[in-house]
Structure 1
Amino acid sequence: MTEMLFVLTFAVAAPFWAMMILLPRWSWTARVISSPLIVLPVVVIYALLVIPAFGDVLPAVASPTLTGVRDLLGTSDGAAAGWAHMIAFDLFVGRWAWLDSRERGVPALVMAPVLLLTILLGPLGLAAYLAVCTRWRLPEGAATEPQHLG
């Protein structure tokens, strides 16, 4: 079951990435991506992996040590849970960046590689977007606080 959940993790997130990267101007993309619930399928997979192992997971994350985290992630269940964790947060960050970029008027051709970097190396994709968004300021009168986190 772990192998199936591992494979399913990216499969349920991929359509949302494809919409943001390949179909950024399609009206359905904005409708779908505007919902933070797009990460829910991955969160459910994560829960299916973590809840049964909660007794092992909680000590490793409540008082983390390098050895404890290595041992947790060094199992098939731990690696699959770690993967689901990364995919869920990368998708949430990618969603935020995509929505914010639309408010700022960042061109889709600029965002495509940023989103691809976010899929592959999440924090570096976030850093790239933070660098990109300094070039495109929010329009006058637009909210200065992130509006699309939840």
Structure 2
Amino acid sequence: MELEQVFSIVNSTAFFSWIFLFVFYKKKWVFQAIFSGVFVLMALTYLFFIIKGLGGESQGGFDSLANVKALFSSDEAVLAGWIHYLVFDLFVGMWIVQDGKKRGINRWVLLPCLLGTFMLGPVGLLLYIIIRSVHLKRFPHSPYDEELVS
């Protein structure tokens, strides 16, 4: 399969997963399908392309920006990196929906957080942390605070 086809498939899969996550946020099957289906398939696809892209003759490393750039100089490695973003952003989106639902935060209030996470990753998570803090009337000082992770 061509890399462009794989790119289109993983993008479409992630996009529709986000739509299902927002529309069917109260349905358990959505979380099960994304967690057990989409994540597994995307992780296997990632694994295939990261091995192919970083295997053997790849150069670079994680010790400098120039070396990271060199590490991702093959199209397969870039595709694997993109899949990495798609999966982790979607996982964060699932957490936002679950946590927001548990805390009684309206899904329409969560929509900008989900869009932000979908498009800008950490910016959407930051927005959710701010909204969550306002809703709880306190800023989370520790991820282990029982009131914040229950």
Identity of paired residues, percent?
Answer: 26
Aligned mates of 1:104, 1:72 — CA distance in 2: 42
Q: Distance in 2 between matches of 1:57 and 1:47?
A: 17
Q: Which residue of 2 aligns with 1:140?
A: none
Preserved CA contact (<8 Å) 1:12 1:42:
no
Please give the secondary structure, in 2, of the residue aligned with 1:134: helix
Query: How many residue pairs were aligned?
Result: 139
Distance 1:31 1:136, change over 3 A: farther
User: Aligned-pair distance for 1:99?
Assistant: 0.5
Stretch moving more, 119-128 or 40-49: 40-49
Matched, 1:11 2:21: no
Alignment of 1:8-87 (within 5 A): 8-25=9-26, 27=27, 30-33=28-31, 36-37=35-36, 38-55=38-55, 60-61=60-61, 63-87=62-86
Q: 1:23 to 1:134 in 2, by over 3 A?
A: same
After TM superposition, give the deviation of residue 60 of structure 1 in Å.
4.2
Do 1:9 and 1:42's aligned partners in 2 also have CA atoms closer than 8 Å?
A: yes
One-letter amino acid of the structure 1 residue matched with residue 29 of structure 2: R
Letter in 2 for 1:6: F
- Deviation per CA, 1:37-87, whole angstroms, max 9, x where unpaired? 3422221221121122343698745x4321111123343222211110100
Alignment of 1:121-132 (within 5 A): 121-132=120-131
CA distance in 2, matches of 1:80, 1:120: 17
Deviation at 1:107, TM superposition (A): 0.5
Separation (CA, whole Å) in 2 of partners of 1:76 and 1:59: 14
The answer to whether the 8 Å contact 2:93/2:117 transfers is yes
Report the Cα offset of residue 116 of structure 1: 0.8
Shift of 1:134: 1.0
Counterpart-to-counterpart distance in 1, 2:57 and 2:132: 37
Shift in alpha-carbon separation, 1:80–1:68, aligned structure 2, 3 A: same
Change (3 A) 1:108 1:86: same
- 5+ unaligned residues in a row in structure 1: which ranges? 138-142
Q: Secondary structure at the match of 1:106?
A: coil
Unaligned runs of 5+ in 2: 137-145
- The structure, 1 or 2, with the larger RCO (C-alpha pairs under 8 Å, 6+ apart) is 1
